[in-house]
């Protein structure tokens, strides 16, 4: 799930995984660890400039798109989620 506020974007994924990382076009697809909250959800807050970004999650090493966002095919045969950050 993705939630946008005026100044940030909050990425949230609920899973039983041990580790979740987010990767996106905003930083050249570098892995960023997501923190697990008290409710067992993994979260990451990002400040992103307006624009279109592709991203996905590595859930225990398995690429996963965000079901709450539109997706497009990746060059690797999987799906990337698409996020439009509004000004």
pLDDT level of residue 85 (50, 70, 90 thresholds): very high
Print the domain residue range for 45: 2-85
Average pLDDT, the chain: 95
- How many domains are there within the chain? 1
Which pLDDT does position 52 carry in this prediction? 97
Q: What is the pLDDT of residue 65?
A: 96
Residue 73: give its domain's CATH number.
2.60.40.10
Q: Which residues pair with 46 in a beta bridge?
A: 9
- Long-range contact list for 76-82, CB < 8 A, 24+ apart? 80/54, 80/55, 80/56, 81/2, 81/54, 81/55, 81/56, 82/52, 82/53, 82/54
Return the pLDDT at 6. 84
Chain segment 13-51, per-residue pLDDT in tens: 999 999 999 999 999 999 999 999 988 899 999 999 999
Q: Does the structure show a pLDDT above 90 at 63?
A: yes
């Amino acid at each position: 799930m993705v939630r946008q506020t005026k100044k940030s974007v909050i990425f949230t994924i609920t899973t039983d995984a041990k580790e979740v990382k987010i990767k996106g076009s905003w930083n050249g697809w570098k892995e960023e660890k997501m923190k697990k909250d008290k409710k067992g959800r993994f979260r990451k807050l990002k400040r992103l400039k307006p624009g279109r970004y592709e991203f996905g999650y590595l859930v225990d090493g398995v690429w996963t798109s965000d079901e709450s966002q539109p997706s497009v095919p990746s060059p690797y045969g999987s799906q990337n989620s698409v996020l439009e950050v509004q000004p």
